[in-house]
């Protein structure tokens, strides 16, 4: 099934979800204090909050493939794979995609405006509570699958959830380790820098 942006707007009810998207490496610099890690040494700022407008993914999957929480077992579907125009692939479990509480959006607006290109226009995925890399930008394909997405953004070492007990990868079967999905709640106390100003609505 092929759907254009106009089809999404015409066939489905517009929804809005306010979500904080967070890089899986957020606060990595703090881990470096314990033991050196790979990747960008992010502080606590690798996140952003916005209100996204679009359509619920579960309604698109129901419309296009007849998928629902009640029917999914009969199809053998375990994951929903998203492919961006840049060929980046990521996936989320089918339960998250179809959950009435998941608020997963195929988004075409951000903060009441058309989605900017650098944020994934014409459409992107927004998966509240899930690691940022699963919020695929520039979505061109959505596929129900028995397997999670291929490639380093899903199955790579940087996107696996290791126990704090794992200090090195000797004798670790990396393929068997689950890919990152949900992230823990984070708290950071900040204060304005001297001379900083902000505008109020």
CATH of residue 30's domain is 3.90.420.10
Query: Does residue 80 lie in a domain region?
Result: yes
Query: Does residue 186 lie in a domain region?
Result: no
Query: Is residue 37 within 8 Å of residue 27, measured between CB atoms?
Result: no
List b or e across 61-89, with b for residues whose CB sees 16 or more CB atoms inside 10 angstroms: beeebebeeeebeeeebbbbbbbbeeebb
Q: What is the rounded distance in angstroms from the CA atom of residue 62 to the CA atom of residue 68?
A: 6
The pair of structure tokens assigned to 19 is: 């979500």
**Res 2: pLDDT:** 94
Query: Does residue 195 lie in a domain region?
Result: no
The DSSP-derived string for 63-78 is: HHH---TTTHHHHT--
Query: Does residue 181 lie in a domain region?
Result: no
Task: Please count the structural domains in the chain.
Answer: 1
Query: Does residue 72 lie in a domain region?
Result: yes
Query: Does residue 194 lie in a domain region?
Result: no
Q: If you average pLDDT over residues 9-34, what whole number do you get?
A: 86
End-to-end CA, the chain: 42
The pair of structure tokens assigned to 107 is: 């988004």
Dump pLDDT digits (tens) for 48-72. Answer: 899 999 999 999 999 999 999 988 8
> Where does the pLDDT of residue 47 fall: very low under 50, low under 70, confident under 90, or very high at 90 and above?
confident
Strands 139-145 and 124-126: unpaired
- Domain span including residue 72: 5-170
Q: Which of 110, 99, 104 is nearest to 126 (CA)?
A: 104
Which DSSP letter does residue 152 get?
Answer: H
List b or e across 109-130, with b for residues whose CB sees 16 or more CB atoms inside 10 angstroms: bbeeeebeeebbbbbbbbbbbb
Query: Does residue 36 lie in a domain region?
Result: yes
Q: If you average pLDDT over residues 114-134, what whole number do you get?
A: 96
Query: Does residue 74 lie in a domain region?
Result: yes
pTM: 0.86
């Amino acid at each position: 099934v092929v759907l254009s942006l106009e089809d999404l707007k015409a066939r489905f009810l517009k929804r809005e979800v306010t979500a904080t998207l967070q890089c899986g490496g957020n606060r990595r610099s703090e881990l470096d204090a314990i033991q050196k890690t790979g990747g960008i040494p992010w502080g606590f700022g690798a996140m952003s909050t916005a209100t996204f407008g679009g359509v619920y993914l579960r309604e698109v999957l129901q419309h296009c493939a007849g998928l629902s929480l009640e029917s999914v077992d009969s199809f053998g579907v375990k994951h929903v794979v998203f492919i961006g125009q840049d060929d980046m692939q990521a996936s989320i479990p089918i339960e998250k995609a179809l959950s009435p509480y998941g608020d997963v959006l195929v988004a075409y607006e951000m903060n009441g405006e058309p989605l900017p290109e650098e944020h994934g226009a014409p459409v992107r995925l927004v998966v509240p509570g899930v690691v940022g890399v699963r919020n695929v930008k520039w979505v061109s394909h959505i596929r129900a699958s028995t397997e999670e997405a291929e490639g380093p953004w899903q199955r790579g070492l940087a996107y696996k959830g290791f126990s704090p007990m794992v200090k090195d990868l000797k004798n670790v079967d990396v393929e068997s380790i689950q890919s990152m999905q949900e992230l823990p709640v984070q708290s950071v106390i900040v204060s304005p820098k001297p001379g900083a100003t902000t505008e109020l609505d």
